[in-house]
Structure 1
């Protein structure tokens, strides 16, 4: 586990630093805010791809959804923990640079409690999501499962499948390609992958559990402990919220392009 933690602690901050250096040299006209934003998105896409690959490997390897285990589960939970901590920092830095540019006509502001509050007010759902993964999901996955349910943890990894496409969308906008066909196709892929892997994944897990124990899907929640159902609802709720935001954004873009 120490090896996985060390790899994650070196990889994600290292990639972020490397991308910043490369982008600053490649796109000399970009501001620091642009460079940090795209660097954060590239690292996020890499983490999402790795998480999805790990999840698919675990899910396809577990024939028994409760008792089968795979070494990747605990290893990737520990490996991905530094990313969650670093991404909070990267998101704050991106917000800070944008806030300084937009709020003070190009003059950099200083770090303060006010800038932290402004960041938390804007991105509190993402920060809460990351902190929950660090301080709730990780301890449960590592210490309180008693070796059960690797299949379901693998499904949680697969929820990151939409993340690379979300990152690609942000990068395309940064490159001025938001009116291209590529951006439109990517937007459709985002909606489909988000809905399938962050929302439908929950009834899929219930269905797989019911299938193994011969329980109809609509009766599965009544055969599970209350804390399992509540935990799933807590994870599902922000996914539904973000999906609604994606739908609203897609509708705005469609109406805007229709008027052009």
Structure 2
């Protein structure tokens, strides 16, 4: 417990700072905010790869979705806690450098605007730290490692989301790679952030011999509430991704017509 907690508490902010420092040295003409954004996206991608691989391993090896145990379902939580804490700080640092005035002070107005601008993502992170972590580590007992793995696997789409942002920083948003990555972002987000929830219900129904629509009525109500709270922001973000994809498609059509 203490080893992964301590190591990752040092690794994530340390890598973020080292990456930003390296970019400033390698690309001195880049704005500091772009270096910080690039670094935060790269750090998020590393965590997402670790989480999704851990989740897929748990899902793959758990033959019984209710009682099967896997050490990663317990241990990776101690990686997730420092990452979520770090990411809250990194989000504010990036926002401050993007919106600071000429006086370059940490004003209360900037902090208040940050809370308003990123309130959904902040709520998502705080919900994971204050609700999901206690449930995953204590309240669920020795059951449900498979479903914890499913939640970890939801991070599978994050590297593609981050790559899209990085390509925009590099002024590559009109390239073929950007369009392919956009398609992969939509596909992985749909599968791992939205369809993963009905998949969990289906997996439980198969084990219990229930119909899919009967499953919500045979599990604790708090499971349904938590799943609803988790999927709602995913649906909102997916709608935003679809909107961006449509805009990208319309732009390409205009270029073809011209």
Q: Same-fold call, TM > 0.5?
A: yes
Aligned twin of 1:30: 30
Note the residue ranges of structure 2 that are not aligned, 5 or more in a row. none
- SS of 1:163 mapped into structure 2: helix
Aligned twin of 2:124: 129
> After alignment, is 191-200 or 10-19 more displaced?
10-19
Q: Which residue of 1 aligns with 2:228?
A: 233
Correspondence 1:244 to 2:239 = yes
CA distance in 2, matches of 1:136, 1:221: 20
Structure 1 position 79, deviation (Å) = 1.2
Match of 1:167 in 2: 162
1:78-117 superposed matches below 5 A? 78-100=78-100, 104=101, 107=102, 109-117=104-112
Corresponding residue for residue 187 of structure 2: 192
Once residues 108 and 256 of structure 1 are traced to their aligned partners in structure 2, the CA distance between those partners, rounded to angstroms, is 39
Q: Is the 8 A contact 1:52 1:157 kept in 2?
A: yes
Report how far residue 109 of structure 1 moved.
Answer: 2.7
Query: Which position in structure 1 is the counterpart of 2:52?
Result: 52
| Equivalent in the alignment of 2:217 | 222
Whole-angstrom CA distance in 2 between matches of 1:239 and 1:133: 14
Q: Evaluate the alpha carbon distance shift between residue 257 and residue 69 of structure 1 in structure 2; reply closer, same or farther with a 3 A threshold.
A: same
Note if contact 1:97-1:108 (Cα within 8 Å) is conserved in structure 2: no
Deviation per CA, 1:58-87: give whole Å up to 9, x if none. 111111111111111121011121110111
Number of residue pairs matched by the alignment: 255
Q: TM-score if structure 2 supplies the norm length? A: 0.96
Say yes or no: does 1:201 pair with 2:196.
Answer: yes
Superposition deviation, residue 27 in structure 1: 1.2
CA distance in 1, matches of 2:22, 2:67: 45
Query: Residue 8 of structure 2 aligns with which residue?
Result: 8
Aligned position for 1:253 = 248
For the aligned residue pairs, the C-alpha RMSD in angstroms reads 1.0
Seen in structure 2, the aligned counterparts of structure 1 residues 4 and 256 have a Cα distance that, compared at 3 Å, is: same
- Residues of 2 paired with 1:112 and 1:75: CA distance? 38
Preserved contact between residue 70 and residue 150 of structure 1 (Cα < 8 Å): yes
Aligned equivalents of 2:73, 2:121: Cα separation in 1: 23
Flag structure 1 segments of 5+ consecutive residues without an equivalent.
none
Q: What residue number does 2:207 align with?
A: 212
TM-score norm. by structure 1 comes to: 0.96
Superposition deviation, residue 253 in structure 1 = 2.1
- Per-residue deviation, 1:28: 1.2
Residue from 138, 142, 145 that aligns with 1:147:
142
Is the 1:51–1:76 Cα contact (8 Å) retained in structure 2? yes
Shift of 1:231: 1.1
